[in-house]
Each structure stands twice: as C-alpha cells, then as structure tokens.
Structure 1
Amino acid sequence: MIHEIVDLMQAIPMFDKTAGSQLNVIAAHMNILKLEEKEQLFSEGEKSDYMCFVVSGKLEVIKRADSGKPVTVSTLTRGRSIGEMALLDTYPRSATVIAKTPCTLLIISREKFDNILEQYPAVGISFLKGVSEMLSLQLRKASGLLADAS
C-alpha cells in the first residue's frame, strides 16, 4: 500500500521536491480515503486531528455566516489540501467540507505526524515546512480578499 500512496502523492505539489526515501516515510503514515459525491468529510465545529490532500475530485468548503446561512468559501481540486491547522492545534474545524464529486484523498493524522517528527525529524521538519508554506499562501490570499472587499 505504501507504493500506491507514493504514486498518489505525485498529484500533490507539496511533495514535488521531496526525496524518494522521505516520500516513503510520509506514505507509511498516510491513509487513502474515498468519498462519494455529496459525502461530508467533516463539519464545522467538530474536533479535528487530521489533514487531507486531494488526489482527485472536488471538495466544497462551506462556512456558516453570522446569519446562519451556509456560504461556499472555496472549492478544492487535485493537489490542494484541507485541515492543515488540525496538525498544529486542537481547535474545532473552522468549516464544513463536502465532496462535490467522487474524491480520493490522502489523510495524515496528528498522531502519525507527531510520530514522523519523533522518529524522522528531518522528514517531519520538511513536511512541516511544506504545510507552513501552504498556510502562508492561504493567509496571503485571504488577506488580499479582505483588502479587496473593503
């Protein structure tokens, strides 16, 4: 199964510069999840302890507005990720995520991520750097959207 996961990781830009031996370590700590159309991945307010990478399909990210109305804030496709904050903090999910189409995802839990950091620090630091870069880009995009909305 590790070889299958390594093959699927080729769809994720974060892993483009990751050496083969490091990919094998990360893959050994990941699982594959398949979602059907309209299946919910997680719900806003739930406890969180894993992040996902989209290998195929489309995910819809929905945030509840102050009015209570659900608002689609993003659609994620191949190569994107969701739930990065769950590896770094213990706060509840900040949005609901539903499959718009059948999806294949790679998942890593906080526990497995922590195992990588303990057993393979260089791999863990590389992975953490990739997650940090993704979060930084998302924050830059969000702040740009907020500035444009003003």
Structure 2
Amino acid sequence: MATGSTPQLTQIGFGGNFKGEVVSMLENNNMFTDFERQELRTLADYCQAYLAPIGTIVFNEGEQSSYLCLLVEGKLSVLKDSDGEKSKKLVDVRPGKTIGEMSVIDGLPYSATVKATTDSKLILITKENFAKVTEDHPRLGVKILWKFSQLLSLRLRQTSGKLIDLL
C-alpha cells in the first residue's frame, strides 16, 4: 500500500474475525447483487476491510498491483499522470464501485493513482487471496471473473463512447 507523507490505510477487520460486517459490505456492493449470501460469506473469508482517511493514496500509478478494492463508504478520485504535468482526474468513484481489478487480473502495474477525497471505507482482496478463492471455490471464482468481465466490458464501451466524442 502507498506510503509517504499521506495518511495510511488502517485495517479494521479481516475475514472470519469480521465476517458479518464484510458480508454486509459485500451485499451493498453493486458487483455482488446477484450473489447468494453463502457465496458472500465464503468470499468474506478472503477479504480485508480498511479505513482510508481523506488524502490517503490507496495506490499509485505504476506501482506493482497487489490488491483490488471495493468502495463501501466515501469517495475516491482516479488520477492519471499527464507528461510531467499535474495529474488529471479521470473519474470519481462512489460507494458500490470497484477499482484495481484490471491489474489484479493482468498482473501489470496500476494504470492510475487512486486517492481518498473523503474519509472512506474499503474492502480489499489481495491478488493472492483472489487466486486462492478461485482455487478453493472454482464456481465462485468463475462467477467473480464473469462479473469482472462484465464490468471491464462496460468500462471499455463507455471509454469508446467518450473517445469518439473527442475525434
């Protein structure tokens, strides 16, 4: 996780020790609306919950990826470096949205910086735990990957629409 002079993520719970609250957080995430409660209970064992005070860098563009995040509360900004100029804001992330999933899947560094613009609560799934849940629970893993595929497809369509407006 990002370090330096910015505030740091503070772990507030992990898996079985915090399962009920993590399940509630997952239930309220748009990505998991069609998951069964038992699937969310299983997934919760592989998750960690964190607080990100305002100003926290959740991850930096170019850092090697190690986790994806589900925003539960608060607001995050996705920032992109622009040829030595000040970073440009691409989008604000609202509760129920995910970030970092591309890098966890393809293993490439994060493509943008993500910063907490309000005090925020996140659920993190590390790359290792993501691989482990897919190995331990293949049906659940496929369901999650399918959701990621739908999410990435939607984002690509939205980006294509914005790109055509610029041409």
TM range (shorter): over 0.9
Counterpart contact for 2:27–2:40, Cα < 8 Å: no
Say whether 1:64 aligns with 2:76. Answer: no
- Between the two proteins, what is the percent identity of the paired residues? 35
- TM-score normalised by length of structure 2: 0.87
Deviation digits for residues 80-123 of structure 1 (CA, Å, limit 9, x no counterpart): 11001122122111111100000000110111111111111000
Say whether 1:53 aligns with 2:70. Answer: yes
By relative contact order (CA 8 Å, sep 6+), the higher-ranking structure is 1
Say whether 1:30 aligns with 2:44. Answer: no
- Which secondary structure does the structure 1 equivalent of 2:35 belong to? coil
> In 2, Cα distance between the equivalents of 1:53 and 1:13?
10
Counterpart contact for 1:46–1:92, Cα < 8 Å: yes
> In 2, Cα distance between the equivalents of 1:115 and 1:67?
39
Q: Which of the residues 112, 115, 118 maps onto 1:101?
A: 118
- TM-score normalised by length of structure 1: 0.96
Letter in 2 for 1:76: V
Q: Which of the residues 34, 41, 55 maps onto 1:17?
A: 34
Letter in 2 for 1:49: S
User: Unmatched 5+ residue regions in structure 1?
Assistant: none
Letter in 1 for 2:117: K
- Which secondary structure does the structure 2 equivalent of 1:69 belong to? strand
When the two chains are superposed, the root-mean-square deviation of aligned CA atoms in Å is 1.0
> In 2, Cα distance between the equivalents of 1:73 and 1:60?
8
Counterpart contact for 1:39–1:98, Cα < 8 Å: yes
User: Unmatched 5+ residue regions in structure 2?
Assistant: 1-17
Letter in 2 for 1:51: L
Counterpart contact for 2:65–2:108, Cα < 8 Å: yes
> In 2, Cα distance between the equivalents of 1:13 and 1:65?
31
